[in-house]
Amino acid sequence: MALKIHLNKKSFKQYFYLSFCLILLFNNSCVLADKAIDEKITDSQVSPQVEDQIPLSQTSQSSEKEKDKQAPEEKADARLNPVSLTNTEDKQDQAQFEGDQVDFDQIANIVTIKGNAILYLLKDDIKLAADTIEYYPDKELLKAYGNVLLTGKEQVTFSKYMEIKVNNNEAFFEEVKSQIALASIEAKKGTIISTKTINSANYQNGEFDLPYPIRLTANPNTVETFRFNKALAANSKTALIDGPSFSVSTDRVKYYPDRIQNNLFLYGTKLKFKKFPLTLPIPYGVFTAGDSSQQMFGLILGNNPRTGAGDFNLGPKLSFVLGDPAKKRAFSLAPFVQMGSRLGYGGLVEYSDPRNNALLAYGSAKARGLAEVRSHLTGHNDFVYGWNSYMGGGITKQFMQLNDHRQIKIPYIGSAFEGNSIYSFADLSFITDSQDLRNQENNLISRLQRDSLGGGSTIKDKSGLRLQQTLYLRTKPIIEVGSEKYNIGLSVVGSSTARVYTTGNFNAFINGGPRLRTHLNHYADIELGYDFLAPSGKSPFGFDQVIQGQQSVSANADFNFTSWLSVGGYSSYSLTRQQFVAQQVRATIGPEDFKFLLGYDPVFKRINFGFTLLFDDKIKFNQFTYRERKVGKKRRF
């Protein structure tokens, strides 16, 4: 189809304004040239003979038959030759127009590109495509109608209608679909404003999606399904069998892609469950878009001993990425209140990376601070430090340990044990024992450790070094009957421990027995055990006393009633002491994408609450605001 192009002498400047407007819309755009095209365009540059019609292409005016005879390469190239927007012939300062018809109405002063209208800005690799593009030089206004597609280096926008106001660098869209950094947005209306240093956008009444789930958890002991762990490890979206169990809507969203972390803010979020009438409000949430493994907001919930003691602790936990997110270095801050026998307050700060973890906490309910440091030194060696913390089964005033842990193959063992390993754990520890801390805890374990140590209230705190070697063994099933879904198997577990103390004490014991495990498809897993203990010598410290007695029985079970409910627990009963030395009751409630954990340990007097929640679907919003700096390095926060 022949192209009709009508431009007057002033068209160069009009096209410059058009190009300048479009460039400002994108993340990495800049001003097209240091100086605008002005009235220096002289008659020598545009001859009078071509004042009313300037050909932008050398498109042939031959007949249709002559076109058919052209080479295939020539027929495939429908782009017009470039027009220079400056006094130079540099390709970087050129734009290209395509369309079935390009007209300039000199009376109405309107430039119109009709039919498959396309505008290219070569310098910034920007393309505007629509059914029709109109430019109004007097009003400094650009309009695009029908199937509008705007593409740039880091942004793609589809819309039904687009309007650009050149004078204030503002673009307005209707029925818009946009990809901004990692966020996919659909909205009824949208506005983009661009300056030399800032790109910003505002969308109303729509929904957005991210490539990875947004995760919200409380309590480090919360149970997560295998499906979620696999999805998070693979940095991919989950695939729920029954689809999401809830829909998510939020009043306001703020997105800052130029920030490495904490770049997504949600205000007034509501989770509405689909199968029962429950709406869960989340007034405020901070997340890192694009990192599926980072949890930026959590809760301190329960009476975890790592929160400085207390009957019940409640408070938010905020985490911040330090440096490169790929290195997974994080800093956490958690203020909380303590409730129970007395009111109190506390706080927790924590640093973690793949090899190290350090924690400092304080709780006023028992006026106690604590510190823990764990560092992975080599493939088999760790360093551990604890102050006023639970280490090795009991609480200590100070605990410092260097350990070595590894698996050792068992040579020359019969076929029933073939392929099994011994787990070796050796450590050198410095310990400062504390009877006052055990009296403060006043739970069953503390009382049994105090009774095993003897001396009652006359016990004196001791310090010293301990060298310990422990070997653990668990065999494969010696006897196994049934199918993959339903089976019962008998195996053996055991351990041997030897300890030497600088106080002159020596302590050793062998412990072990059979384990009968029953697997009933996805309905239940049950394990029953019997243990026999043969001790020798005695520890001078209370925290590592052996309290279960020479004979004990144990049971560990989980029952899955539905995909929404599982109940289980663990219990160990000392036949020698004729009392329980370990107990736990637990329940997991909720759909796959929202699991709530309830737990209670009567031995340690601990209440355990927690949940794991994943946003894995489009999130509806009333207002979505995007803001990004064009210059400078990405910010941490």
Q: Kindly state whether residues 450 and 342 are assigned to the same domain.
A: yes
* Tokens, residue 76: 């495939």
CB 496 within 8 A of CB 510: yes
Radius of gyration of the chain (CA): 35
pLDDT digits (tens, 9 = 90+) for 249-300: 999 999 988 877 778 888 998 888 887 788 888 887 777 776 554 455 567 7
CB 114 within 8 A of CB 89: no
Q: Kindly state whether residues 237 and 360 are assigned to the same domain.
A: yes
CATH code of 176's domain: 2.60.450.10
Q: Which residue has the tokens 């604590």?
A: 370
463 in a structural domain: yes
631 in a structural domain: no
* Tokens, residue 17: 């304004």
d(CA 550, CA 527): 20
This prediction has a pTM of: 0.62
4 in a structural domain: no
pLDDT digits (tens, 9 = 90+) for 123-178: 556 688 899 988 887 887 888 899 998 886 666 888 989 887 767 778 888 888 88
Q: Kindly state whether residues 451 and 545 are assigned to the same domain.
A: yes
CB 37 within 8 A of CB 85: yes
Domain termination residue (choose one: 147, 177, 209): 209
pLDDT digits (tens, 9 = 90+) for 182-207: 788 999 998 888 777 788 889 999 99
305 in a structural domain: yes
- Kindly indicate the confidence band of residue 122, based on its pLDDT and cuts at 50, 70 and 90: low
Q: Which residue has the tokens 């990692």?
A: 182
Q: Kindly state whether residues 414 and 472 are assigned to the same domain.
A: yes
d(CA 58, CA 73): 15
d(CA 601, CA 598): 11
What is the model's pLDDT at position 36? 34
Q: Kindly state whether residues 459 and 352 are assigned to the same domain.
A: yes
80 in a structural domain: yes
- Residue 571: φ, ψ to 5°: -150, 140
- Tell me which range, 24-33, 92-101, 203-212, 550-559, is most confidently predicted by mean pLDDT: 550-559
- Kindly indicate the confidence band of residue 235, based on its pLDDT and cuts at 50, 70 and 90: very low
633 in a structural domain: no
Handedness of CA 288, 293, 296, 298 (dihedral sign): positive
Q: Kindly state whether residues 193 and 231 are assigned to the same domain.
A: no
d(CA 628, CA 621): 20
Q: Kindly state whether residues 235 and 94 are assigned to the same domain.
A: no
- Kindly indicate the confidence band of residue 459, based on its pLDDT and cuts at 50, 70 and 90: low
Burial grade of 528 (CB within 10 A; 0-12, 13-18, 19 or more): middle
Q: Kindly state whether residues 234 and 163 are assigned to the same domain.
A: no
Domain termination residue (choose one: 209, 236, 256): 209
What mean pLDDT do residues 365-390 have?
91
Among candidates 168, 193, 189, which has minimal Cα distance to 178? 189
Q: Kindly state whether residues 113 and 135 are assigned to the same domain.
A: yes
pLDDT digits (tens, 9 = 90+) for 392-425: 778 889 999 999 998 876 655 544 444 566 889 9
Domain termination residue (choose one: 209, 242, 262): 209
632 in a structural domain: no
- Kindly indicate the confidence band of residue 437, based on its pLDDT and cuts at 50, 70 and 90: confident
Q: Biggest alpha carbon distance in the chain?
A: 115
Q: Kindly state whether residues 478 and 361 are assigned to the same domain.
A: yes
What is the model's pLDDT at position 110? 85
- Report whether pLDDT(84) > 80: no
CB 580 within 8 A of CB 210: no
Domain, as residue range, for 114: 11-209
Number of domains the chain is built from: 2
> Would you give the distance in Å from CA 328 to the centre of its chain?
11
Q: Kindly state whether residues 204 and 236 are assigned to the same domain.
A: no
**Gap between the terminal Cα atoms of the chain:** 54
- Report whether pLDDT(505) > 50: yes
636 in a structural domain: no
Q: Kindly state whether residues 243 and 183 are assigned to the same domain.
A: no
